[in-house]
Structure 1
Amino acid sequence: MSHFIATFFYVGHLRPAPGTWGSLAALPAGWLIYVLTGPWGLLAGVVLSYVLGVWATAVETKGKENHDPSEIVIDEVCGQWIALLPIAFGAARQDVDMLALWPGWIAAFALFRLFDITKWGPVGWADRMRGPTGVMLDDVIAGIFAAIGVLILAWFAHQGFLAQVNPA
């Protein structure tokens, strides 16, 4: 069961770039959670994926030298879902289909992958931690940065750009 969770239904075995595959797999899974449970359900999914991810990573790496094998992608799933939270709550607040906010999906995916791959600032600090918490935490921080980026881009898109096109 730990391997099933850690690899997010074995998606982590896809090559090349298993982390990117994990992030991509998180998108339809996050959408399904949102459709079934709303934005609060997606937030609960973030918490659950983090807790299960720490446990599964601990089991999968116990006694091994590599503390962050590439097939473990539950951390990418958790971080990608964090990046989707502004879209989920925005769609619910405006009572629109979450998929209608497709530019936000692209931004959430691209920004999350950017922060996860570059390991900028606190993401890199967390990545250098040893153990399952570090494996999960760097992606949580990357997801938070991506979510902030999504919010900033949404503000520019809806306030800055639209205000210029349709002045009040």
Structure 2
Amino acid sequence: MARLLCIWFGAGLLRPAPGTWGSLIAVAMGVILHRIGHFPLLALATGLVILLGFWAVRVHTAGMDDPDRSEIVVDEVAGQWLALMAPSFGFWHAGLPADSFPYPGWLAAFAFFRLFDIWKPWLVGRADRRHDAAGVMIDDLWAGIFAAIATMATAAIAHGVLM
């Protein structure tokens, strides 16, 4: 079960760039979760995947020299869903219907998450350098938080809030 969660039911086996595939699948699933139960369901699912991800990575990588293997993408799912929570919350807070999740919101969350996950600035890079099971998850959680902030800042600029 831990391996299945780590590779996110096979997404981590897709080539090339399994992290990007994992993120794309996470976006699709996140948009579906938003449409089914709006922000509260996405937030609940995100919390659950974070907890399960820490457990699965720890169990699956026990005894491995390098736990940050490319096929492990549960961390991308958790981080990507954190990034998606920002626009999901915005739409929910604005009272928009659950079946409304316009593409600029999820596209920006995806692009910013991939940027921070690959670039690994500041806390993302620090967590990545831990080289342990927790670091596998933590770097993507930081990338997701940074992506959420960047997504909302971009939305604020686009909608004239910060002008």
Q: TM tier, shorter chain?
A: over 0.9
**Distance of 2:114 and 2:160 partners within structure 1:** 26
Alignment correspondent of 1:114: 115
The amino acid that maps onto 1:38 is H
1:110-168: per-residue Cα shift (whole Å, max 9, x none)? 1100000011111000111132211101000000000000110000111169x8xxxxx
Computing the radius of gyration from Cα coordinates, the structure with the larger value is 1
**Distance of 1:3 and 1:10 partners within structure 2:** 10
**Distance of 1:105 and 1:83 partners within structure 2:** 9
Alignment correspondent of 2:74: 74
Cα-Cα RMSD? 1.5
Residues 87, 98 of structure 1: 8 Å contact kept: no
**Distance of 1:32 and 1:104 partners within structure 2:** 14
SS in 1 for 2:3: helix
Residues 79, 141 of structure 2: 8 Å contact kept: yes
1:36 positional shift: 2.4
SS in 2 for 1:25: helix
1:70 positional shift: 0.5
**Distance of 1:131 and 1:90 partners within structure 2:** 34
Residues 66, 132 of structure 2: 8 Å contact kept: no
TM-score normalised to the size of structure 1? 0.90
**Percent of matched pairs sharing the same residue:** 47
- Give 1:6-25 correspondences, 5 Å limit: 6-25=6-25
Structure 1's consecutive aligned runs of 4 or more residues displaced over 4 angstroms after TM superposition are: none
**Distance of 2:87 and 2:31 partners within structure 1:** 10
Could you tell me which runs of 5 or more consecutive residues in structure 1 were left unpaired when the two chains were aligned: 164-168
Could you tell me which runs of 5 or more consecutive residues in structure 2 were left unpaired when the two chains were aligned: none
**Distance of 2:113 and 2:156 partners within structure 1:** 18
The amino acid that maps onto 2:91 is A
